[in-house]
């Protein structure tokens, strides 16, 4: 396409990136919705990466930090990153920086969900409900069990 169309696509992406980080896939979808041709989209994304306005690494780091602060688990974050076009090796390396956080977040959620004064360790129904909740948040069984063990030894 013409240089004008390329400039229009580039400016559109800069406006989007000024508001928040986007993955390459998200930008590609946004440009596609604006009816830009595939070649223009490819050129635009290449230029954005070259100019360091777009980085999947930076997007993944910011996205992970945000989701961890919302107390989501590793599996859910990894799934969401994959949906946003981040490859598994990049998401694994970014999530590896937060290994110590998973158990702490799971412990916090268990304490928040547990009824006051009741022993969550003896009541199977309550413990099962909390486990289902944590699985839905993206935590794996090992992390959940470790969090329960840590809380039990703290008492």
Encode burial over 88-105: b for 16+ CB neighbours within 10 A, e otherwise. eeebeebbeeeeeebbeb
Q: How far apart are CA 79 and CA 32, in angstroms?
A: 23
CATH number of 101-154: 1.10.10
Whole-number Cα distances in Å, 19 to 12, 13, 22, 78: 11, 10, 9, 23
Residue range(s) occupied by CATH 1.10.10.10 in the chain: 3-54
The residue with greater pLDDT, 12 or 2, is 12
- The pLDDT tens digits of the residues spanning 3-48 come to 558 899 999 999 999 999 999 999 999 999 988 899 999 999 999 9
Q: Cβ(111)–Cβ(87) under 8 Å?
A: no
Which CATH number is associated with domain 3-54?
1.10.10.10
Q: What is the pTM of this model?
A: 0.85
């Amino acid at each position: 396409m013409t240089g004008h169309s390329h400039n229009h696509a580039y400016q559109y992406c800069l406006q989007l990136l000024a508001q928040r980080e986007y993955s390459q896939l998200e930008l590609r979808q946004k440009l596609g919705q604006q009816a830009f041709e595939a070649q223009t989209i490819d050129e635009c994304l290449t230029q954005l990466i070259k100019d360091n306005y777009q980085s999947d690494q930076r997007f993944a780091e910011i996205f992970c930090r945000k989701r961890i602060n919302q107390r989501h688990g590793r599996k859910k974050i990894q799934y969401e990153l994959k949906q946003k076009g981040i490859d598994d090796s990049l998401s694994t390396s970014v999530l590896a920086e937060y290994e110590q956080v998973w158990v702490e977040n799971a412990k916090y959620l268990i304490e928040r969900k547990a009824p006051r004064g009741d022993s969550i360790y003896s009541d199977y129904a309550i413990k099962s409900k909390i486990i289902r909740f944590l699985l839905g948040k993206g935590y794996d069984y090992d992390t959940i069990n470790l969090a329960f063990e840590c809380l039990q030894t703290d008492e």
